[in-house]
Structures are given as structure tokens and as C-alpha cells.
């Protein structure tokens, strides 16, 4: 049961991560309560750090389905918990580093980290394919 709770924490962390970048984007863009009537328009018009944080938020949402599917399928197919946790934690850590790179405008390193983060769920899915 403890292994399952670790998986749940991974899923929770991955799901909450985009919202951290959303908050950063809003703070960096000078978000005011009045802007909450149309926050997407506000973020779409943002520049600099706010725009980069918004892009990190969007990309975090885009990568989330692959991660969730891989972790849940790995759990369903009874992949070793250590492997699931290892690749899950690696994904979370790499996605945090990815966001930092985006905020700092380090585009080349960001692209490398993006690739490494995406390889984590892909590798889990490849393990599942090998089991079939």
C-alpha cells in the first residue's frame, strides 16, 4: 500500500506543477483581480518572464497525459514499483528543471531537459510493450 501512495503523490505533483507556473506567470505579469474576468487573454498578452512562465505552464499541461497514462499503465501491468517511482520522480524533477530553464530563458538546455523528461514516460510504456 505504501508503494501505491508514492504513485499517488507523483501523480498529484505532476498535476499541480503547471499551476505553479501559472501563478508565476500571473505574478510576473502584474495580474490584478480585475484581470480574472479573462485570465487567458491577460496571459496571452504577457511578455518576458510572464510569457515564459505561461509557456512552461502550457507545456506542462501538454506533457501531463503521457505521464499519467504511462504511470497508470505501468501500475496496471504490475511493473516493478521501484522502476515506476524512479522514472516518475525523474520526470517530476526534470519538469521542475525544465520550468526553471524556461523562466531563465535557457532555450538549449530547456530543450535537452524537455527531451529527457519525455523519455521517462516513454521508457515506462516501452517496458509495458516488452511485457505484452
CATH code at position 33: 1.20.120.550
Average pLDDT, the chain: 93
pLDDT tens digits, 37-85: 888 888 888 999 999 999 999 999 999 999 999 999 999 999 999 999 9
pLDDT of residue 11: 96
**Is it the case that residue 2 has pLDDT exceeding 80?**
no
Report the predicted TM-score, pTM, of the whole model to 2 decimal places.
Answer: 0.92
Enter the C-alpha cell of residue 28: 510576473
Mean pLDDT, rounded, for 81-98: 97
Q: Is-contact 8 87, C-beta < 8 A?
A: no
Please identify which residue in the block is written with the cell numbers 524556461.
102
Domain count, the chain: 1
Q: Is-contact 103 56, C-beta < 8 A?
A: yes
Q: Which domain range does residue 26 map to?
A: 2-131
**Percent of the chain predicted with pLDDT > 90:** 80
**Percent of the chain predicted with pLDDT > 70:** 95
Mean pLDDT, rounded, for 100-124: 98
Longest CA–CA span in the chain (Å) reads 54
Enter the C-alpha cell of residue 22: 501559472
Distances (CA, A) of 59 to 6, 69, 129: 24, 17, 26
pLDDT of residue 59: 97
The contacts of residue 89 (CB under 8 Å, 6+ apart) are 10
The contacts of residue 110 (CB under 8 Å, 6+ apart) are 98, 101, 102
Amino acid at each position: 500500500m505504501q508503494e501505491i501512495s508514492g504513485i499517488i503523490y507523483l501523480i498529484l505533483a505532476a498535476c499541480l506543477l503547471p499551476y505553479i507556473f501559472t501563478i508565476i506567470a500571473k505574478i510576473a505579469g502584474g495580474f490584478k483581480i480585475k484581470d480574472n474576468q479573462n485570465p487567458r487573454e491577460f496571459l496571452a498578452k504577457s511578455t518576458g518572464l510572464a510569457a515564459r512562465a505561461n509557456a512552461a505552464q502550457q507545456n506542462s499541461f501538454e506533457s501531463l497525459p503521457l505521464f499519467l497514462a504511462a504511470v497508470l499503465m505501468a501500475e496496471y501491468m504490475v511493473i516493478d514499483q521501484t522502476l515506476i517511482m524512479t522514472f516518475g520522480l525523474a520526470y517530476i524533477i526534470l519538469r521542475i528543471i525544465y520550468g526553471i530553464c524556461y523562466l531563465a530563458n535557457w532555450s538549449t538546455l530547456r530543450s535537452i531537459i524537455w527531451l529527457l523528461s519525455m523519455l521517462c514516460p516513454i521508457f515506462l510504456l516501452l517496458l509495458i510493450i516488452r511485457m505484452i
